[in-house]
Amino acid sequence: MNKAKLLSLCVLALSGVLPAFAGGILTNTNQSAHFIRMVARDASLQIDAAYTNPAGLVKLEDGFHFSFTNQSAFQTRTITSTFAPFAGFGDNATKKFKGTASAPIIPSLQAAYKTGKWVLSGNIAVTGGGGKATFNDGLPSFESMIATMPLAISAMGVPTDKYSVDAYMRGSSFIYGAQLGGSYAINDMFSAYAGFRLNIVNNGYEGYLKNIKINPKHPLVNPTGGMMLATDFLTAAGKPEMAALVADREIDNKQSGWGVAPILGLNFNYKALNIGMKYEFKTSLNVESKTVDGKDAGLAQFKDGVNTPHDIPALFTVGASYQITPQLLASVGYHHFFDSDADMADDKQKFINGGTNEYLAGLEFRVNKMFLISAGGQITRYGVTDDYQKDLSFSINSYSIGLGGAVNVAKNVMINIGYFWTTYSDWTKENSKYAAVVGSNPPVYISGKDVFSRTNKVFAAGVDFSF
């Protein structure tokens, strides 16, 4: 593997690491403080239904309704990698590579106007991504190939057992969504919705691999056996092809694109029972690459004008709520993301068995006319396989808990607050071909192991008002 491909792996990893805080691989379903404090909102009849259950908006009172939310989300993603050659840089074959992603401001706006049987509604939000991630020590795919340099040099008859590298990558990913549609009350029990969402993608990547050093003990080039630039040694040793593999490379790239997805919804209401359904069609789109000052690391896919698949998978949701007592509301929900049918960079959809499934439940209890409290949970099960899991572009099963409450500060004004955190199941991937020794032909592979883990915390506050 050459160095350009090495940096390509990092950029592709960043395209998947940036946070989808609740939902599928590319979709954020946490679009309001209502979700954060209760989780199961797929049968909502409040203003947050503009996103979760737009057909249910017909149960609002006539007039204008708005909800504004800001969320602050923080994630870490850690890979604990065991690969024998890592001992050449730090004397330990097991290393932790940690990336942090933060998004202190994730705003969303829900709006609806109801008159008679008709409702016109809209939603503006960060529907995917929504943060920046920084990897100050690079990634295992960076370092594993570089870590084999001492083996390659030693095979040339020059004793070498140490290496070092400066690696850095910073990425950002935002999918902005603007939804518009209309709902109609067919009768007292049934209502329907039709609309669309415009999705705009804006990604950016900056990074480098540089100052790769080794400690060859060569009587003429490096008699002391101290650390020196790998390019200098390989050039002096008459190995220009290998020197090119470890030359400094840099990337400064932006990607953008847009697409439209139709949305259909249906709601059923009978006495204390409400059922809501929604289907969002796949958003077919490509992102176009724009490279700053030619910094594309020699990668064809990141040159100006190159397009890469970036489909947003179709989504089906269904939920039911039941007013057990005038004070107590119970709700459940189910989400399915059709991940395998969406084209992704590097054809990653081929390594997904079907898609993502989520199971949700929540309770809301009204303490009095002014206060209510709520809590809920979500179980997320991805259909990804071992081949999908690469560096920090990984998705692992989880369960989440949200809790919070609301207070009616005026007749038509309600403040919502919530806290949501996720516990993940570690994923262990053992690979007999973890990395090949640099320059080996045919490739000589060395085995290794990665353990993928994550953390996720979200705080939200919002205000609903109507007139």
Residue 16 has pLDDT above 80, yes or no: no
pLDDT (0 to 100) of residue 17: 47
Q: DSSP E strands: which ranges in 92-189? A: 94-115, 118-135, 163-185
- Give the whole-angstrom CA distance, residue 451 versus residue 434: 13
Mean pLDDT of 328-350: 93
Dump pLDDT digits (tens) for 442-456: 999 999 999 999 999
Residue 65 counted as domain residue: yes
- Give the whole-angstrom CA distance, residue 414 versus residue 431: 53
Mean pLDDT of 229-248: 91
Dump pLDDT digits (tens) for 143-188: 888 899 999 999 999 999 999 999 888 888 889 999 999 999 999 9
User: pLDDT class for 299, splitting at 50, 70, 90?
Assistant: low
pLDDT (0 to 100) of residue 300: 62
Placement of tokens 């993502």 in the chain: 356
pLDDT (0 to 100) of residue 13: 47
pLDDT (0 to 100) of residue 195: 98
Residue 212 has pLDDT above 50, yes or no: yes
User: pLDDT class for 135, splitting at 50, 70, 90?
Assistant: confident
Paired residues of 337 in beta bridges: 315, 356
Nearest to 152 by CA among 90, 85, 235: 85
pLDDT (0 to 100) of residue 20: 52
Residue 219 counted as domain residue: no
pLDDT (0 to 100) of residue 177: 96
Residue 214 counted as domain residue: no
pLDDT (0 to 100) of residue 206: 86
Residue 153 counted as domain residue: no
Residue 397 counted as domain residue: yes
Residue 19 has pLDDT above 90, yes or no: no
Mean pLDDT of 259-267: 98
Nearest to 133 by CA among 234, 23, 24, 16: 16
Residue 304 has pLDDT above 90, yes or no: no
Residue 72 counted as domain residue: yes
Range from 36-40, 147-151, 308-312 that averages highest in pLDDT: 36-40
Mean pLDDT of 269-284: 97
Residue 10 has pLDDT above 70, yes or no: no
Mean pLDDT of 134-140: 81
- Give the whole-angstrom CA distance, residue 338 versus residue 282: 8
- 417: CATH: 2.40.160.60
Task: Output Rg (C-alpha) for the chain, integer angstroms.
Answer: 26
Residue 461 counted as domain residue: yes
Nearest to 137 by CA among 102, 75, 86, 185: 86
Q: Quote the domain boundaries for residue 264.
A: 13-122+178-195+258-466
Dump pLDDT digits (tens) for 362-405: 999 999 999 999 999 999 999 999 999 887 678 999 999 999 99
Residue 2 has pLDDT above 80, yes or no: no
Residue 12 has pLDDT above 70, yes or no: no
User: pLDDT class for 292, splitting at 50, 70, 90?
Assistant: confident
pLDDT (0 to 100) of residue 77: 87
**Other Cβ atoms closer than 10 A to 16:** 24
Quote the mean pLDDT of the chain: 90
Residue 131 counted as domain residue: no
- The number of domains in the chain is 1
Dump pLDDT digits (tens) for 58-94: 999 999 999 999 999 998 889 999 999 999 999 999 9
Q: Count the alpha carbons within 13 Å of 342 in the hemisphere toward its beta carbon.
A: 28
pLDDT (0 to 100) of residue 354: 86
